[in-house]
Structure 1
Amino acid sequence: MVVNKPAHSSRVARVLLVAPACDGEDVGESWLAYQWAHRAACADLVRDLGLGERVRIHGGVPRAEVEHFYERSDVFVFPSYREPGSAVVLEAMAHGLPLVVCDRGGPGANASDACAVRVPAESPAQLARDVATAVRRLVAEPDLRLRMGEAAREHVVATHLWDRRIERMMDLYEQIAVPRTTGAGQVPG
């Protein structure tokens, strides 16, 4: 599903962070979704950094409420470096959100530089710094945020809808089904 949403034009952005991490930078209002196992650690970090007024911790939410988070967000941050898939990233792109993801596994592979800041994962400290830098940039540059969000929507429509996936798979099958010939023009047998 592709949803058009009005973008916020001020420097304040709503960041949907799906991970147990945050820092003390002022990036506007943030929502933090994560696995319940990390709730206490995240709550402690938010309190210790004095972010209680700007960060809302929701934890697990019913699927029916997930759409509202996408619709109300301006940036989608998913810095997981162990994620083999990327369904949540595809959902965010379908909602026209620019991404900040690890350039590793499914999230990095299923996005392009036009719609995502793909951050290498070399160390936890480096990852945290680079994610924070990327979020700050997208918050400070609303035009970039809007361009990347539109590119995200276009990318997911062009590459991840089922009819596009079927076309790509059929092309691949046709490529491998074409008989190879030997140097003399003979099909090897």
Structure 2
Amino acid sequence: MQQTDESRLKVLVIAPSLDGNDLSEPEWAYRWVEALSRRADVTVLASSRIGAEPLEKQLPLARVVTWPEIRWLYQKFERFNAMAKPGLPLFVAQCRKWIREALARGETFDVGHQILPQGMRHVSAFASFDIPYVIGPLGGGLKTPPAFEAEVNANRGLAARLRDFDDFRLRHDQALRRTYQKASMVLGVAPYVEERLTGLDLQRFHALPERGYGDFAPERERQNAVGQLTLFHAGRVIRTKALRDTIRALSHLRDLPGIRLISAGDGEDLPLCKIEAKALGVADRIKFLGRIPRGAVEQHYEAADVFCFPSFREPMGGVFFEAMAHGLPIVAAANGGPDFLINNSCGIKVPVTNPDDFARGIADAIRTLAMDPSLRARLGAGARARLKSFGSWDDKADLMLTFYQQIMAQTDAMPTGATKQERAAQ
């Protein structure tokens, strides 16, 4: 760890599952902390992940404190653990104990930041102390659109039951409510997060996608033939990811046989998607790849003309960042994270009404793109610009330092017990 500079902020980060060699939450949270550690004196409280490169080696500029994961939970109940995080209460207790002992030793922290977990069902150790803190970016908790509930609930699992319980807890669990009410700032991946937390009297909310951009794929000339299109859909194949709706959309495009779909991903809805494709007579226009290596996914982004991922209950969607980095125009659902992430400079958003109209709306968007190569080119260029507007990891770290400094200044100026109205007036 580099030497402490008195002018640098002392930031205490809580993030149980950091790993720069993983995917999804552990990877993006690592990138965030790594960028912060180059700008501030960062202490990070995390778990030592089974089989992962030690976090202290991944974050040489930070002070790293870890506790072992509960091996049997992570090895035998991986999916359950990913959703419910049953080991998290122990981790929170370990963080509380460490912070209490650190403060007793005379250590001080300018600000805290709980980056993970991303779900809105977990209390924070910071709520037990007087350290001003940020929590988030939070995401998830979206409801299934009513007209889609029958199809989605046909395979209703643990995630749906947890989502129902979350609503009750956000209304009645005082420890959870206090976590958000006491936070100096709550970050959400999109504006819908603030709506989910309505009634909690948040001190400050800011919508900020959890990801920063990295490398952009080289620009390339894509086909400009009218009526010819390769669509790409990538992600876990569950009902809400809308592969089935994209297949139904193809049935409305029989007059455009040059439109083809590539699907990369596996999941419980894949067999039903294959059955639907055959029943609708479009199976010959679809290639189901199943789960493929990361490098192969990149090759398909490169070869595609349009990224069609109209997931209708998507918290944010890292795949959109990947598609935009490749300069792909996007077809997305006008709901959740994509409704914030995608605008008319980079894609076409389809209203989520009912399954029949949704499929027709997707078909209309695809038809528009298929018949207008110049529009595809403009939206592809717009996708790169839109992604850049969300900032790099360094940009996000700089923004967070600005927020931290604002929080510190406001905390110093405000008397204990100030109301939300008094805080807002500062």
Structure 1 residue corresponding to 2:357, chosen from 105, 126, 134: 126
**What residue in structure 2 maps to residue 14 of structure 1?**
230
Instruction: Give the secondary structure class of the aligned counterpart of 2:229.
Output: coil
Question: 1:144, CA displacement in angstroms?
Answer: 0.3
Write the distance in 1 (CA, Å) between the matches of 2:349 and 2:285. Answer: 25
Question: 1:146, CA displacement in angstroms?
Answer: 0.6
Write the distance in 2 (CA, Å) between the matches of 1:92 and 1:105. Answer: 18
Number of equivalent positions:
183
Instruction: Give the secondary structure class of the aligned counterpart of 1:36.
Output: coil
Structure 1 residue corresponding to 2:291, chosen from 35, 50, 60: 60
**What residue in structure 1 maps to residue 394 of structure 2?**
163
Structure 2: which 5+ residue stretches go unaligned? 1-214, 235-241, 415-424
Write the distance in 2 (CA, Å) between the matches of 1:160 and 1:35. Answer: 31
1:26-85 deviation digits (Å, cap 9, x = unpaired): 352211234331222222222223323321111221212110110010111111111112
Write the distance in 2 (CA, Å) between the matches of 1:144 and 1:166. Answer: 34
Higher mean C-alpha deviation, range 143-152 or range 100-109: 100-109
Write the distance in 2 (CA, Å) between the matches of 1:94 and 1:47. Answer: 33
Structure 1 residue corresponding to 2:366, chosen from 123, 127, 135: 135
Write the distance in 2 (CA, Å) between the matches of 1:57 and 1:51. Answer: 12
**What residue in structure 1 maps to residue 420 of structure 2?**
none
Instruction: Give the secondary structure class of the aligned counterpart of 2:284.
Output: coil
Question: 1:20, CA displacement in angstroms?
Answer: 2.3
Structure 1 pair 161–80 and aligned structure 2 pair: CA distance change class (3 A):
same
Write the distance in 2 (CA, Å) between the matches of 1:114 and 1:55. Answer: 28
> Runs in 1 of length 4+ with deviation above 6 angstroms?
none
1:69-125 deviation digits (Å, cap 9, x = unpaired): 100101111111111121001110111001111121222212222002122212222
Higher mean C-alpha deviation, range 109-118 or range 136-145: 109-118
Question: 1:155, CA displacement in angstroms?
Answer: 1.1
**What residue in structure 2 maps to residue 99 of structure 1?**
330
Higher mean C-alpha deviation, range 79-88 or range 21-30: 21-30
Higher mean C-alpha deviation, range 5-14 or range 51-60: 51-60
Cα contact 2:264–2:289 (8 A) shared by 1: yes
Structure 1 pair 40–153 and aligned structure 2 pair: CA distance change class (3 A):
same
Question: 1:170, CA displacement in angstroms?
Answer: 4.1
Cα contact 2:327–2:384 (8 A) shared by 1: yes
Structure 1: which 5+ residue stretches go unaligned? 182-187
Normalising by the residue count of structure 1, what TM-score does the alignment of the two structures yield?
0.85
Cα contact 1:86–1:110 (8 A) shared by 2: no
Normalising by the residue count of structure 2, what TM-score does the alignment of the two structures yield?
0.40
Q: How does 1:12-91 map to 2 (within 5 A)?
A: 12-18=228-234, 19-21=242-244, 22-23=247-248, 24=251, 25=253, 26=256, 28-91=259-322
Question: 1:177, CA displacement in angstroms?
Answer: 5.7
| AA in 2 matched with 1:169 | M
**What residue in structure 2 maps to residue 144 of structure 1?**
375
Question: 1:128, CA displacement in angstroms?
Answer: 1.4
* Percent of residue pairs bearing the same amino acid type: 32
Write the distance in 1 (CA, Å) between the matches of 2:357 and 2:281. Answer: 23
Cα contact 2:345–2:379 (8 A) shared by 1: yes
Write the distance in 2 (CA, Å) between the matches of 1:156 and 1:167. Answer: 17
Structure 1 pair 137–103 and aligned structure 2 pair: CA distance change class (3 A):
same
Write the distance in 1 (CA, Å) between the matches of 2:350 and 2:400. Answer: 29
Cα contact 2:264–2:297 (8 A) shared by 1: no
Instruction: Give the secondary structure class of the aligned counterpart of 1:6.
Output: coil
Q: Tell which has more relative contact order, 1 or 2 (C-alpha 8 A, sep 6+).
A: 1
| AA in 1 matched with 2:371 | A
Structure 1 pair 47–113 and aligned structure 2 pair: CA distance change class (3 A):
same
